[in-house]
Structure 1
Amino acid sequence: MARRLFSCFGKSGSAPCHDDNATADVTTEEQRRGGPVVVELFTSQGCATSPEAEVLFSRLGRGDFNLDVPLILLAYHVDYWDYMGWKDPFGSSQWTVRQKAYVETLNLDTMFTPLVVIQGRAQCVGTDAEALISAITDAHRISAPTFQAKFQRPATDSLQVSLTGCLRTKVDHQGVNVLVALFECSLVTDCSSGPNKGRVLANDYVVRRLEKLCSFKDIAAKKTISGTVNFALWEGFSASKCGLAVFMENASHQIFGSQKFQLPENI
């Protein structure tokens, strides 16, 4: 991809990681109204306007906008701004590839940061609070899966997560992938070069790992499924700062149900 295809868009403190629906149990109210809305932010410490979007993202997680919608927030740090003089420590080509897939399926003209994608179906510039809140409010909500999670540390540098439960959504012949994201909050970086030189950057809901649990076609909503994923852990890993998101997506990355967990602090 040529660099000219990448854009950094902007419209003009960080919060700790909150998880008000951290257990696998789905309340009667959630069943009636639908599950969480997945909000994905594509961002970079090498983009001058991304820090503004990061603040907005953290405020969403803190509940500042009083939205009556449960959210799953995931921030993917892309790597295509690294050439600007600052290598984002959380940047990955894997997240750049994921954004490129959205650019294609959502018929966008260019790759840009900060980009927000809601439920894999709608998008807006990550600094546009009004557009973001409107997209979340209007998002199509789908029943949350009812997974129960078991966490193990087979080694000091790995985390194993076993999930068992029902998708609660019928899967047709086109199929879905069930993905599991491990994210981290309350990250602080002193940026010594690049467009944000001299700034202290705060990042929440940073996706550190993304693994596929399984794929399914033609199964009933009540069918019980199970699987296990293994995550390689990074230096300085702290379970108290991390959470887990499980979501189903089709080939076009549209999301069909999601659930989140807080990691046990003693894992």
Structure 2
Amino acid sequence: MLSRLFASGFALLLLPAAALAAERPVVVELFTSEGCSSCPPADAYLTDLSHAGRDVLPLAFHVTYWNGLGWRDPFSLDAATQRQARYGSRFGDGSYTPEMVVDGAHGFVGSERGAVGAAIREARQNRTAASVSVSRQDGQISIAVGAGSGTGRLLLIGFDTEHRTAVGRGENTGRTLTESNIVRSIRPVGQWSGAPVTLNAALPVGQDVAVILEAPDGRIVGATRLGDAS
């Protein structure tokens, strides 16, 4: 069952092409819910992507709008719902589950492996990037962005690598769901205006850490995770 929640429009700005840098991972965002019976195949695809290599950064954003329909997803975040609503306004298709967004540029039904896979391959060929690195230092996260063309905001994301959940109510009653790269926190930590920048931030909630550099139009122009060189 696909659930749709239509959102209001928002201002769309354009970003000049960012300077090419070392290859960065293609970011795949899955908007999902444990209350949605159509979501487990997309969750399984995201798990496969998480095991396929470091050139894709798959992240599962659990939305809140299923919580009143029989099962409250323990990983749901208001920030995930709001992030998807912004994409829905840009893409003109509202919010639904499961949805995968590739590099902040295109949205697809998350279980459609062929369409998402083709978009990932295209993104690999055409990605632009600003160099982004992240490290852990003295109990904090240190983020560095190299020089480039354009502007963007830095998002710090904490995520858990895997959870298994026995669902007791709702559309997935009786199922045990295995889910990967579940986003537990997301927050903006700074701006980038083309000049090199280094900043420190408190560790986010979650087992692992990712950083995304997002252009004003929502497209992703830089990304890395803790331990990656980018």
Report the TM-score when normalising by structure 2: 0.83
Q: Is the alpha carbon distance of 1:149 and 1:129 closer, same or farther for their aligned partners in structure 2, counting shifts above 3 Å?
A: same
Q: Secondary structure at the match of 1:204?
A: strand
Q: Does 1:254 align with 2:219?
A: yes
Q: Does 1:181 align with 2:157?
A: yes
Q: Is the alpha carbon distance of 1:102 and 1:251 closer, same or farther for their aligned partners in structure 2, counting shifts above 3 Å?
A: same
Match of 1:145 in 2: 131
2: distance between equivalents of 1:54 and 1:169? 35
Question: Percent identity of the aligned residues?
Answer: 28
2: distance between equivalents of 1:202 and 1:186? 7
2: distance between equivalents of 1:56 and 1:116? 10
Alpha-carbon deviations, 1:83-106, whole Å to 9, x = none?
111000000111100000000112
Match of 1:208 in 2: 184
Selected match of 2:55 from 70, 77, 82: 70
Alpha-carbon deviations, 1:112-165, whole Å to 9, x = none?
000000011011100001001001001131235242412444xxxxxx3122x3
What are the equivalent positions in structure 2 for 1:76-95 lying under 5 Å apart?
76-95=61-80
Q: Match of 2:127, as an amino acid?
A: R
Q: CA RMSD in A?
A: 2.2
2: distance between equivalents of 1:244 and 1:168? 22
- State which structure, 1 or 2, has the greater radius of gyration over its C-alpha atoms: 1
Selected match of 1:96 from 52, 69, 81: 81
Q: Match of 1:6, as an amino acid?
A: L
2: distance between equivalents of 1:5 and 1:60? 25
Q: Which runs of 5+ in 1 are unaligned?
A: 8-29, 154-159
Q: Does 1:161 align with 2:141?
A: yes
Q: Which runs of 5+ in 2 are unaligned?
A: 7-20
2: distance between equivalents of 1:148 and 1:244? 9
Q: Secondary structure at the match of 1:98?
A: helix
2: distance between equivalents of 1:178 and 1:53? 27
2: distance between equivalents of 1:193 and 1:262? 38
Alpha-carbon deviations, 1:28-81, whole Å to 9, x = none?
xx82xx321011000000111111100011011212xxx8x8111111000000
Report the TM-score when normalising by structure 1: 0.72
Contact preservation (8 Å) 1:75, 1:207: yes
Q: Does 1:48 align with 2:24?
A: no
Match of 2:12 in 1: none
Q: Is the alpha carbon distance of 1:167 and 1:107 closer, same or farther for their aligned partners in structure 2, counting shifts above 3 Å?
A: farther
Instruction: Please state how far the C-alpha of 1:167 moved relative to its aligned partner.
Output: 3.1
Match of 1:26 in 2: none
Q: Does 1:37 align with 2:19?
A: no
1: distance between equivalents of 2:169 and 2:185? 26
Q: Match of 1:167, as an amino acid?
A: G
What are the equivalent positions in structure 2 for 1:187-198 lying under 5 Å apart?
187-198=163-174
Match of 1:170 in 2: 149
Tell me the matched-pair count.
210
